[in-house]
Amino acid sequence: MTVVDDSHAENTKFSKSERAYQWLREKIRTREFEPGYKLVLSTLANELNVSVVPVREAIRQLEAEGLVDYEHNVGARVSTLNRDAYFEAMESVAVLEGAATALSVPFLTQVDLARAKELNEKMEALLSDFEPDTFTDLNKKFHRALFYKCPNTRLIELVYEEWDRLDYFRVSTFRYVPERAASSVQEHHQLIKLIEAGAEPAYLEKRAREHRMRTSQSYRAQIDTTGGFQL
């Protein structure tokens, strides 16, 4: 009697689904597939040289993440950006980063703090000749320097997942609220001082969370004033 080993078939199926997922996600993230773009299974399968099965599974995963919408008798399309989803992602980043930073602090060294200070100084130097995308990139590096030693690896993964969602929504919030940049730099200084002073983890978490939320609140206030949500 011949025993059929299904493990290879399952692994191959998984790898094709994962490859399709990563490929589609990158197309959406870079806006090559714009919001509203129709995702035709057969066309995508041909491009990837796979059957429609792994493509369908990839689309289902992207739908669960909110990047794809499925409508009966219409099919799958890249999700249309919306204001509520953006602010939900901002709020999630604030909560997750605050927790990850507080857990990371006991493991940070003077070298780590020196790195964070250096990044914040670069951000401060940009204020006189502001470039929002560069500022945002440095801002992410600054926060990563404070939470990357968090012992809860899943928490760090969740932070990065929400960062990816924000990258999908916009290039830089600071493009729309540049006046927030100077305050953000000062709050970074305060966070580092609190860490150096040995502040309680719960208080650090609160301050880190509030810092992130202020950027979101500034953008929301700007939208309420101008009446437009820009991405």
Give tens-digit pLDDT for 34-43: 778 899 999 9
**Across the chain, what does the average pLDDT equal?**
87
- At 6, the amino acid letter reads D
Domains 7-78 and 83-226 share a fold: no
In this prediction, residues 147-159 reach a mean pLDDT of 97
Reported as a pLDDT band with limits 50, 70 and 90, residue 1 is very low
What pLDDT is recorded for position 5?
A: 45
2 pLDDT above the threshold of 50: no
Question: What's the confidence (pLDDT) of residue 145?
Answer: 98
Residue 3 is predicted with a pLDDT of: 43
Question: From residue 57, how far is each of 21, 49, 71 by CA, in Å?
Answer: 8, 15, 16
Residue 17 pLDDT more than 60? yes
CATH number of 7-78: 1.10.10.10
- Averaged pLDDT, 58-69: 88
Please say if the pLDDT value at position 10 is more than 60. Answer: no
Indicate if the pLDDT at residue 168 is higher than 90.
Answer: no
Per-residue pLDDT tens over the stretch 93-111: 999 999 999 999 999 999 9
Percentage of the chain surpassing pLDDT 70? 89
- Residue 6 — very low, low, confident or very high, per pLDDT cuts 50/70/90? very low
DSSP string, the chain: -PPP--HHHHHHHHHHHHHHHHHHHHHHHTTSS-TT-EE-HHHHHHHHTS-HHHHHHHHHHHHHTTSEEEETTTEEEEPPP-HHHHHHHHHHHHHHHHHHHHHHGGG--HHHHHHHHHHHHHHHHHGGG--HHHHHHHHHHHHHHHHTT-S-HHHHHHHHHHHHHHHHH-S-GGGT-TTHHHHHHHHHHHHHHHHHTT--HHHHHHHHHHHHHHHHHHHHHHHHHH-----
pLDDT at 220: 85
Rounded CA separation 84/90 (Å): 10
pTM: 0.69
CB 26 within 8 Å of CB 67:
no
Res. 55: pLDDT tops 60: yes
Positive or negative torsion for Cα 88, 158, 139, 183: positive
Predicted pLDDT of residue 103: 98
Question: Residue ranges of the domains in the chain?
Answer: 7-78, 83-226
Structural fold of domain 83-226: Four Helix Bundle (Hemerythrin (Met), subunit A) (1.20.120)
